[in-house]
């Protein structure tokens, strides 16, 4: 994965319910694993902005409910610090469902709401369909 410029505080753990911000027919997703997390024994895996997670769809189209998919976190409520000293936080925790995990190609064609700049640094494919980049 590419590095990002901000020091992101990891505000999302296993079990967190995320809003799905694209038009991939899923509405809510629960985090079941963090891809690439190497932690201490018995510690909950944590994720932050621009991290890839494995999610289980819990609300949306009936053909998707219960399916396990990959997603990238685009917004988090926990504030994090950028290099210039500003602190950023959003109103909700949100993710985008990913089709191809190597390139980060999103499953949807539009993203509702803002996307953090750090996500676009790491996943340029998401930046192509984002309407607002903060």
pTM > 0.75: yes
Structure-token pair, residue 8: 């992101």
- Each domain of the chain, given as residue ranges in start order, spans 12-133
Residue 78 CA to residue 53 CA, distance in Å, equals 17
Question: 59 forms bridges with which residues in the sheet?
Answer: 28
Please determine, for residue 103, whether its predicted confidence score (pLDDT) is greater than 80.
yes
- Please report the pLDDT score of residue 5 as a whole number: 86
Rounded alpha-carbon distances, angstroms, from residue 41 to 11, 44, 49: 19, 9, 23
> In this structure, which topology does domain 12-133 adopt according to CATH?
Ribosomal Protein L14 (2.40.150)
Dist. CA 113–CA 95, nearest whole Å: 11
In tens, the pLDDT along 44-97 reads 999 999 999 999 999 999 999 999 999 999 999 999 999 999 999 999 999 999
Residue with tokens 């009936």: 62
Count of Cβ atoms closer than 10 Å to residue 50 Cβ: 26
Three-state secondary-structure class, residue 131: strand
pLDDT at 28 (0 to 100): 98
Q: How far apart are CA 108 and CA 112, in angstroms?
A: 10
Q: What pLDDT does 89 receive?
A: 96
Contacts (Cβ under 8 Å, ≥6 apart) of 14: 31, 32, 33, 34, 44, 45
Q: How far apart are CA 78 and CA 8, in angstroms?
A: 9
Is residue 1 pLDDT above 80, yes or no?
A: no
Residue 25 · residue 69 · CB < 8 Å: no
């Amino acid at each position: 994965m590419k590095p990002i410029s901000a020091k992101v505080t990891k505000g999302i753990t296993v079990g967190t319910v995320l809003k799905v911000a694209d038009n991939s027919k899923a509405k809510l997703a629960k985090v079941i694993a963090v891809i690439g997390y190497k932690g201490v024994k018995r510690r909950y895996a944590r994720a932050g902005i621009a991290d890839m997670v494995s999610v289980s769809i819990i609300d949306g189209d009936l053909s998707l409910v219960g399916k396990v998919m990959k997603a990238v976190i685009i917004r988090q409520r926990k504030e994090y610090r950028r290099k210039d000293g500003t602190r950023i936080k959003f109103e909700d925790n949100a993710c985008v469902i990913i089709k191809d995990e190597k390139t980060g190609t999103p499953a949807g064609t539009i993203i509702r709401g803002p996307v953090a700049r750090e996500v676009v640094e790491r996943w340029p494919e998401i930046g192509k369909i984002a309407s607002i980049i903060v």
